[in-house]
Structure 1
Amino acid sequence: MKVIKTRNVQQALPEALYQLSFEGVRRDSRNGPVFMFPEPVTTVYLRPAERVLFWAERDANPFFHLMESLWMLGGRNDVEYVARFVERMRSYSDDGVTFHGAYGFRWRQHFFEDQLPKIIAALKANRDDRRQVLSMWDTDADLGRQGKDLPCNLQAIFQIACDGRLDMTVTNRSNDLIWGAYGANAVHFSYLHEYVARSVGVEQGIYRQVSANFHAYEDVLKVAPLADLAANPMTGKETPDPYAAGIAEPFPL
């Protein structure tokens, strides 16, 4: 198990790309060749609220990620809302109307109950509770399904740590480190984490994401100048981080 322990997503991306540059193994996938780590990877975010990715080379859209996070927290799965911001989102739906694996819908409606209030109530009642697992993978609906949209993130585990803050651990079956882990996931799940923490009445703690298959697509690595970001701190170069420099501050949900 490889562990990438970092302050925030801004620092995680170049570190992961640096390590992938000499550890990555080329393999085929249903969407084209990838370079993947030969073992699962856990990313540890010490300050998950610092969720905006500032790298111009990645060109992440923080406004879309914010609106998508709110769409998730609202428990929705409709294509129309998110397609207003990014039209190509329609291509990830099987029927053009809904997303089969929409995380927010899984959190709040898919299993015929809203999981979040139950988790929040349990942690309020017992801060030593270790049973609060938010489910996203449904064996009946997902196992063996051949479709465009299956949940990559499977579970989120919430526990109040020894320091009194709420930690969250997310398990993931297959994670694109450029578009998934250090793009969308770092925003969506840190907002989920913050929402649950604030609802419980504690501070947001550490966010860990455990990815069984951690990869980047070969065509993206070739086209985008992301390899330049792989000048990891191990080379003696400092990773530019507006948060660490005091230029940017996280804003609360």
Structure 2
Amino acid sequence: MVRQVAEAPVLSRRERARQATIDEIKSVGRDLLAVDGENGVTIRAIAREMGMTAPAVYRYFTSHELLIRALRADVFAEAAHAVLAGAADGAAHDDALRRLLDAARGLRNWALSHRHEFSFVLGRSPVSPEAQEDQEAQDAGWVFGSAFAGLLCELWLQRPFRVPAESELSPELVHQLNGLRISRQLDVPVGAIAVMLSSWARLHGVICLDVMGHLAFVLPNADAFFEYELFRLCAELGMADGYRPPR
């Protein structure tokens, strides 16, 4: 059976020009984000850098919020790429634990070299109640979240780790985790998702503290501490013997 390959729609010259301008606006926004953080990403600043007027930029992004959403989606995708690139960096596909450890290292390395971008999507940036209920915003975040979820699912399938029974969790937590399992089609028990979230909270917390300089007063270099946390994660999964230091 021959699989039909969907062809990309052919854009008109006007559509190509519009897309090129949108891409340039986002590129300039990323440059401003990298230098000045989120507060530096304004329509006026972008217009000034591009030699355009602010109203002209608004023809492509009708609000500052829409621009920020587009940039968040792009940065989430880049962070997910850093995770997956780390997981693919030399580890055999059947060594899910090693792939997970390398993915965590890949994310940390990306975060340390993209501090403003990390803070923009995974750090101090506040998330409003409106954004929490915004499906588009949730989907953008899940582009990144699915990278780690996929690696942890691989690990569960290869080396099932001990997970709490649903009776050990509160009914409200079970309800929310089951909703996540169904909506994101995670083929693992609810208890495994609880362990996954706990593991992610640990790694995210250490990376946040490191990126924002909150470990510097005790650890001039947090590399060894991050590896210690990775070892502890392996130990709590019952896989201390699988820990390997970075190559």
Verify same fold: TM over 0.5: no
Place the TM-score, normalised by the shorter chain, in its bin: under 0.3
Mark the structure with the bigger radius of gyration.
2
Q: TM-score, normalised by structure 1?
A: 0.24
Q: TM-score, normalised by structure 2?
A: 0.25
Q: More strand by proportion, 1 or 2?
A: 1
Q: More helix by proportion, 1 or 2?
A: 2
Higher relative contact order (CA 8 A, sep 6+): 1
